[in-house]
């Protein structure tokens, strides 16, 4: 149950961040970013929804490790608070702006994980 809560928190944080807005602006000819986030109430809504979804999905998926890839947007935004701030731009674009491609990759990995457990009868067997 602890794993479900951990994954639900990761998904909730990503959904909450995704519903926010990252605004680039110039400060003395160098780009900087302002992160505008919705109310923390929305974080609670995301947490409850993702925990309920994972409780259902957990019955069908043995290993939830592909869902850990959803932490990449958190890492990209976290780069803004480090000395690597100047290099954060491409990673933010890749993992925040292109978030739906990351979700698609996670869905494909989960589908590949399901495939061996599906029993598909052979026509020639």
pLDDT tens, residue by residue, 12-65: 887 887 788 878 888 788 777 787 888 989 889 988 988 887 777 776 666 666
Could you give phi then psi for residue 22, rounded to 5 degrees? -100, 115
Express each pLDDT in 76-110 by its tens digit: 777 777 777 777 777 777 777 777 787 888 788 77
Q: Let me know: does 34 contact 25? Beta carbons within 8 Å.
A: yes
Q: Which residues contact 96 (CB under 8 A, 6 or more apart)?
A: 17, 18, 22, 73, 76, 77
Per the structure block, which two tokens stand in for 1? 């149950």
What is the Cα–Cα distance from 72 to 66, expressed in whole angstroms? Answer: 12
End-to-end CA distance of the chain: 41
pTM (2 decimals)? 0.50
What is the Cα–Cα distance from 82 to 74, expressed in whole angstroms? Answer: 13
Confidence at residue 94, expressed as pLDDT on a 0 to 100 scale: 76
Could you give phi then psi for residue 92, rounded to 5 degrees? -65, -40
């Amino acid at each position: 149950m602890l794993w479900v809560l951990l994954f639900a928190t990761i998904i909730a944080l990503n959904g909450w961040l995704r519903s926010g807005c990252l605004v680039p602006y110039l400060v003395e000819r160098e780009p900087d970013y302002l992160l505008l986030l919705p109310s923390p109430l929305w974080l609670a809504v995301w947490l409850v929804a993702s925990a309920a979804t994972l409780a259902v999905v957990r019955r069908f998926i043995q290993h939830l490790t592909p869902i850990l890839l959803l932490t990449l947007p958190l890492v990209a935004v976290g780069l803004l608070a480090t000395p690597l701030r100047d290099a954060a731009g491409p990673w933010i674009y890749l993992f925040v702006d292109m978030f739906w491609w990351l979700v698609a990759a996670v869905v494909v990995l989960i589908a590949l994980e399901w495939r061996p457990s599906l029993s598909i009868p052979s026509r020639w067997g």
